[in-house]
Structure 1
Amino acid sequence: MKNIYCKMICMICMIGMVACSASELQKSKTDEAQALLTTLKTVSQKNHFLFGHHDDPVYGIGWIGDKNRSDVKSVCGDYPAIMSFDLGRIELGGDKNLDNVPIERLRHEIIAQYERGGMVSLSWHADNPVTGKDAWDVSDSTVVASVLPGGTQHDKFMGWLDTVADFMNSLIASDGRKVPVLFRPWHEHTGSWFWWGQALCSATEYKALWHMTYEFMQQKGVKHLLYAYSPGTEPNNTAEYLDRYPGDDIINLIGFDTYQFNRQEYLNSMEKSLTILTEVGQSHDKPIAITETGYEAVPDSTWWTETLLPIISKYPISYVLVWRNAYERPNHYYAPYPGQASASDFVKFYADPRTLFVRDMKTKK
């Protein structure tokens, strides 16, 4: 049933690509990026959603670096439809990111996920360019201002953007085309735990950071990206959600990040944020997504089908993505692995016709 649905998506995408004029396709996007955007919109219209997992094929519980391995695949026999990775520390010119994954491995896995029919999202926990510490260092409230034109760190930061752009341009599939990617920088900005957060810069400065990032990528020929606007659950209405929104001409998908600590509070937060997201998505013609979520160590054996699935099925989301299964931190994982308490329930979640994994996406190309 799911594969039949995805063939429909493929046909819709192909028809849309033929019918649209060059101006309608936006000259700022490659055909592959436009097709990905069409898929994200189409999925949500049919009450289906893609399932995603951060760092899925590069490490998991009890392993790191194995080839063709995934905790999700080990449980249900299939890869997630979306894999997300982080570019943090790439700006420093090293050979590994902030989670100790080789940059070359990231490149390989991004291309592999695309070629197996899946989608990739990239976040960027850039180090603090003023203090030299990590992205969570909020000891200086002038960092965003310092990287903007005229700022003391502007030249350094433009070099960082150049490194990111070069990496994006290196994502070339075997057919010679650049791999379309959903880029999600400057996320969770409605909190104040990153140097680009709410209390660390003005709305004008935050928007300027976005515009500078986007315009630089365009100048470097990085036109295979979609861009995601991804605050936390702090906004209480659409006006607050859009307070620092960079604009429809930049943003392609809107979402939010949230995690469960208390079940009822999680459900309440999800209801509030999904209601806001649905309204904004409809008024701005953007697909919506839960860009990060999860329940650490998933101690609830039926969390997937009795907590997550019922709430997200009420809203037209394009995807939901859970965070990583850390190999180096005990009990810091968000997807099941073989023998984990919620593994059997996850198999039921996988079998639900509303969920889409990578096998369901193969026919879209």
Structure 2
Amino acid sequence: MKYIATIISVALAGVFTVTGCSGGKNKASAEAEAADTVAAVTPRVQLIERLGKVRDTGKFAFGHHDDTAYGHTWRGEDGRSDVKEVTGDYPAIMNWDLGLVEWGAGKQLDGVPFELIHDEAVEQDARGGINTFSWHPRNPATKGDSWDTAGGNVVKEAVTGGSALNDTVREWIGRAADFIGSIRDAAGNRIPVVFRPWHEHTGSWFWWGGDNTDTESYRKLWHMTREVFDAKGIDNVVWAYSPDKVDTVEQYMERYPGDEYVDIMGADVYCFDGKDGLEQYAAKVKSTLSAAVSQAEARGKLAAFTETGLESITVPAWYTDVLMPLVKEFPVVYVSVWRNADNIPRHFYTPYPGHPAEESFKAFYNDSITLFAKDISEIK
């Protein structure tokens, strides 16, 4: 998986080499075979190769959740972005969430219309950026939100064939697949995206994680998700596995669904306690990213810091003095922070114009190791 483009080039060269030696194929048939080989390079493969090139630069792409959908004091204003208003550029990565797509809702759990997400994802791709998707589905047993952990081992029942919950969750996964498969560029080609379902499963705050289920059932849930996507022919998904903070590789890998199901080894670690929690945050980032990166290298995968941030950025130099030194220790392809809510004043993870962290964020942007939209557009 590591050097897919090189492998394909060798394969294409082989078509013409064999033809020339054997004389068994004419030029037209060789070209047709080559075209078939190129056609087999799916959007997923293209994005994996592109992210591999990002890794090879020794830099990392910066991401922000719901970046162009709303910001600290605004919502639904075309072209706006808190990140762009501070740095002059959009994030290289934009993350979107599919929560409530399972219900066929018109808007996701934070009130962003799915139609807008579709259009903004297409726009991000057109400017040369990359899209990632998370999913906070409702509890299928209780109909509560993702944080409703009632209903027993919901995952175990959901992955049991013939159960009502199995039918429901398969249908829900199918709706997520349909939406992701619908994201196409102006030429009608599917746009590749990163999708990280069933995230932060090492904690017990979601109905699919921690003490709320068992290892076998969690892995089956991943397998079932991939089965539904594959049955629908969804070929534009790069799959990310993203546990929350762990102390050991064993904890990180405990519920790993298998190499054939994962392309990116991710990690979600937040800084919750401001200055008092910086030391603990650093320790957890190191233990979790160390596990992610070591396993990625061992398995031929990519590694990413899939979610992080300090709410309200109460440490003004957090981006340059806390986050940057940690990320420089680990070769991750991207680092993504959470959203800037327009309806919760304290709930933001990138600075906006006038915030005390603005200058630190500008320095973070100007650092040669960070990639934003204009930078990553040059890496194809």
Same fold (TM over 0.5): yes
Shift of 1:343: 0.7
Structure with bigger gyration radius: 2
1:142 Cα deviation after fit: 2.2
* 3-state SS in 2 of match to 1:364: coil
Q: Deviations over 1:263-286 (max 9, x none)?
A: 111111111112222211111111
Asked whether 1:147 is paired with 2:158, we answer: yes
Query: Given residue 257 of structure 1, which amino acid in structure 2 is its aligned partner?
Result: D
Residue 260 of structure 2 aligns to a residue whose secondary structure is coil
Give the counterpart of 2:306 among 291, 313, 316. 291
Amino acid at match of 1:215: E
Q: What is the rounded CA distance, in whole Å, between the counterparts of 1:200 and 1:315 in structure 2?
A: 31
Relative distance call for 1:86 and 1:130 in structure 2 (3 A) is: same
Distance (whole Å) between structure 2 residues aligned to residue 125 and residue 20 of structure 1: 41
Deviations along 1:130-163, whole A, 9 cap, x unmatched?
0011010001222112221233311122221221
Q: Write the distance in 2 (CA, Å) between the matches of 1:141 and 1:328.
A: 33
**Equivalent residue letter for 2:42:** D
Deviating beyond 4 angstroms after TM superposition, the runs of 4 or more aligned structure 1 residues are 12-17, 25-30
SS at match of 1:228: strand
Residue from 50, 70, 82 that aligns with 2:61:
50
Query: In structure 1, how many angstroms separate the alpha carbons of the residues matched to 2:280 and 2:46?
Result: 37
Q: Which residue of 1 aligns with 2:105?
A: 94
Aligned residues: 351
5 Å matches for 1:224-243?
A: 224-234=236-246, 236-243=247-254
Tell me: CA distance 1:35–1:16, structure 2 relative to 1, closer, same or farther (3 Å): farther
Secondary structure of residue in 1 paired with 2:43: helix
SS of the residue 2:311 aligns to: coil
Alignment match of 1:158 (pick from 156, 170, 173): 170
C-alpha offsets along residues 230-258 of structure 1, whole Å, 9 cap, x if unaligned?
Answer: 00113x22222111101111100011111
**What residue ranges of structure 1 are gaps of 5+ in the alignment?**
1-11
Matched, 1:60 2:51: no
Partner of 2:30: none
TM-score (norm: length of structure 2): 0.88
Q: 1:256 to 1:213 in 2, by over 3 A?
A: same
CA contact (8 A) 1:13 1:39 kept: no
Aligned counterpart, 1:278: 293
Runs of 5+ unmatched residues, structure 2: 13-32
Task: Report whether the alignment pairs 1:18 with 2:18.
Answer: no
Structure 1 residues 28 and 164 mapped into 2: Cα distance closer, same or farther (>3 Å)?
A: farther
Residue 96 of structure 1: SS of its match in structure 2? Answer: coil
Length-normalised TM-score, structure 1: 0.92
Q: 1:227 to 1:312 in 2, by over 3 A?
A: same
Deviations 1:30-62 (A, max 9, x none): 533212112222322332000000000000011
> Residue 158 and residue 355 in structure 1: after superposition, are their counterparts in 2 closer, same or farther (change >3 A)?
same
**Structure 1 pair 290/29, CA: closer, same or farther in 2 (3 Å)?**
farther
Cα deviation 1:169-219 (Å, max 9, x = unaligned): 211101221010101110000000001011111111000000000011011
Q: Which amino acid aligns with 2:358?
A: A
> Given that residues 265 and 293 in structure 2 are in contact (C-alpha distance below 8 angstroms), is that contact kept between their aligned partners in structure 1?
no
Aligned pair partner of 2:369 in 344, 354, 357: 354
Range moving further from structure 2, 213-222 or 42-51: 42-51
Query: In structure 2, how many angstroms separate the alpha carbons of the residues matched to 1:283 and 1:364?
Result: 25
Amino acid in structure 2 at the alignment position of 1:325:
N
User: Are positions 1:341 and 2:356 aligned together?
Assistant: yes
Residue of structure 2 in register with 1:168 after alignment: 180
Counterpart for residue 260 of structure 2: 249
Q: Does 1:264 align with 2:255?
A: no
Structure with the bigger RCO (C-alpha within 8 Å, sep 6+) is 1
**Deviation readout 1:99-120 (Å, 9 max, x if unpaired):** 0000100100111111110111
Q: Does 1:70 align with 2:81?
A: yes
Rounded to whole Å, the distance in 2 between the matches of 1:184 and 1:26 is 28
Counterpart in 2 of 1:113?
124
